[in-house]
Amino acid sequence: MSAAPLTVALLGGGTVGAQVARLLLEQSADLEARVGAPLQLVGVAVRDTAKPREGIPSDLITDDAAELISRGSDIVVEVMGGIEPARSLILQAMAAGSSVITANKALLAADGATLYQAAEESGVDLYFEASVAGAIPLLRPLRESLAGDRVMKVLGIVNGTTNFILSKMDEEGADYADVLAQAQELGYAEADPTADVGGLDAAAKAAILAELAFHTRVTFDDVSCEGITDVTSADVEAARAMGFVIKLLAVAERTPDGSGVIVRVHPAMVPRDHPLASVRDAFNAVFVEAEAAGEMMFYGRGAGGAPTASAVLGDVVAAARNRVSGGRGPGESTYADLPVRPISEALTRYYVNLDVADRPGVLAAIANAFAANGVSIQVVRQDGHGDDAGLVVRTHLASDGALSRTVDELRSLDAVKEVLGVMRVEGEAGA
């Protein structure tokens, strides 16, 4: 019943590459049944051919990626990472007529639109499910299942390291620095954790999600980005007291009038009964609001060799099926071409925690600062007296710019001794 074998070339023999090779070889009978043709792994390009690679037959190993690509395999899988030489190799593969599967979030966030266009011009498939939220089938639903709907907002927990740290801070009341050290010991955080805790990894994924959700060119540089390094155990405790939990969110949304998109990464307080609140430890989840479909969430493991390899293999099967049927899958375009607007135009809510003087008129002065900037207050809670007097304010929706100006004005008030914490609030009903 099966057609001639389809050839697969693999670029990269690291953790993910080894798992992809293993699954291709171990599950060959199942894969053949699902594709309608056998899949044949023809080569694995690596940097260091001397290094032992468990699960990869040594005669398939090569250090000449360009030569491997020039053989014109049906499918080229790129799991080497980094912008170059990955981009050149992918473009070379598509020009040679190969469909391309990549897990390369840095490259897609830097220059996804160029890859989309090259795939269109060569009439090949370009799939990249593994680039965001690892094993969670997310990009295919966004590209295909919601293709008849209008996505309004995407809210994602897309970085496992920061979610692990914030979960521990919430569960154990621990300090950021202590939990980071623990995460590094457990291997959940790198020795240099900047890309994770600074929000840069999440920002790259936010760009990819925004590009697909809104059919608009969005790159890493378009994403407003703030990490979790300034989140204190006091913030976590204040969130808990209000029935919230702090998460690092990647947010991609239409502007209030629908004419543009805003993409941002920052810590945010999320109500404890929101589906994202129960996403703990190193799990990922992406919450999507669409016009007709309403709210939905995709949850699962965001990283790890085997989960990422599962996502890559799903894409390989899809591209292979298209080869067998003689067609190609849906391409991606940035036809909507909406402008990317700054975070100051986003409608958000703020939580503000103030250390205030304990004297009459303080609340009035503070309320005036909010009102003067057109921000309306949802809840005020006053804690303590005398030197310990504290005031916690949660606002209604207002432009992020107006909220940011309000906080500046609060800092300048005599009545305010210190602004202890400021954080955006997401996921409240009616938000």
- Length of the chain, please? 431
81 interacts with its own copies by CB under 8 A: no
327 interacts with its own copies by CB under 8 A: yes
Residues 6+ apart with CB under 8 A from 395: 349, 350, 351, 352, 370, 375, 376, 377, 378, 403
Residue 129 backbone dihedrals phi, psi, to 5 degrees:
-55, -40
- Report the residue number, 1 or 177, with the smaller CB distance to its own copies: 1
316 interacts with its own copies by CB under 8 A: yes
* Minimum distance of its own copies from residue 103's CB (angstroms): 13
330 interacts with its own copies by CB under 8 A: yes
- Report the residue number, 326 or 386, with the smaller CB distance to its own copies: 326
- Report the residue number, 100 or 313, with the smaller CB distance to its own copies: 313
228 interacts with its own copies by CB under 8 A: no
- Report the residue number, 120 or 178, with the smaller CB distance to its own copies: 120
Angstrom distances, CA of residue 187 to CA of 48, 54, 162, 176, 285: 24, 21, 13, 16, 21
In the region spanning residues 273 to 312, those forming contacts with its own copies, defined by CB under 8 A, are 273, 275, 278-279, 290-301, 304, 306-307, 309-312
**Single residue of 136, 218, 245, 268 touching its own copies by CB under 8 A:** 136
144 interacts with its own copies by CB under 8 A: yes
Is residue 168 within 8 A of residue 182, CB to CB? The reply is yes
321 interacts with its own copies by CB under 8 A: yes
What b/e string do you get for 386-404 counting C-beta neighbours within 10 Å, with b at 16 or more?
A: eeebbbbbbbbbbbbebbb
CA torsion sign for 403, 409, 414, 420 is positive
270 interacts with its own copies by CB under 8 A: no
402 interacts with its own copies by CB under 8 A: no
Residue 344 backbone dihedrals phi, psi, to 5 degrees:
-60, -20
Residues 6+ apart with CB under 8 A from 295: 287, 288, 289
46 interacts with its own copies by CB under 8 A: no
Task: Give the bridge partners for 351, in sequence order.
Answer: 394, 423
* Minimum distance of its own copies from residue 294's CB (angstroms): 4
* Minimum distance of its own copies from residue 197's CB (angstroms): 24
Catalytic residue chosen out of the listed positions 153, 205, 247, 417:
205
Per CB under 8 A, which region of 25-33, 195-203, 390-398, 417-425 contacts its own copies? Answer: 25-33
* HEC per residue, 220-260: HHHCEECCCCCCCHHHHHHHHHCCEEEEEEEEEEECCCCCC
3-state secondary structure of 150: coil
25 interacts with its own copies by CB under 8 A: no
174 interacts with its own copies by CB under 8 A: no
38 interacts with its own copies by CB under 8 A: no
**Single residue of 163, 322, 395, 406 touching its own copies by CB under 8 A:** 322
User: Catalytic residue at 205?
Assistant: yes
* Minimum distance of its own copies from residue 128's CB (angstroms): 12
- Report the residue number, 135 or 204, with the smaller CB distance to its own copies: 135
Angstrom distances, CA of residue 91 to CA of 97, 121, 171, 400, 407: 10, 11, 46, 40, 47
3-state secondary structure of 118: helix
318 interacts with its own copies by CB under 8 A: yes
Token output for 120: 């269109």
271 interacts with its own copies by CB under 8 A: no
- Report the residue number, 5 or 275, with the smaller CB distance to its own copies: 275
Token output for 25: 């070889």
Query: How many angstroms separate the CA atoms of 269 and 378, rounded?
Result: 15
Query: How many angstroms separate the CA atoms of 352 and 242, rounded?
Result: 12
**Alpha helix (H) ranges present in 243-326?**
305-325
79 interacts with its own copies by CB under 8 A: no
Per CB under 8 A, which region of 128-136, 180-188, 260-268, 421-429 contacts its own copies? Answer: 128-136
Per CB under 8 A, which region of 4-12, 135-143, 261-269, 402-410 contacts its own copies? Answer: 135-143
**Single residue of 53, 168, 205, 215 touching its own copies by CB under 8 A:** 215
3-state secondary structure of 314: helix
Q: Which residues are catalytic?
A: 205
Contacts with its own copies, residue ranges (CB under 8 A):
19, 23, 27, 30-31, 33-34, 129, 135-137, 140-141, 144-150, 215, 273, 275, 278-279, 290-301, 304, 306-307, 309-318, 321-322, 325-330, 333, 335-336
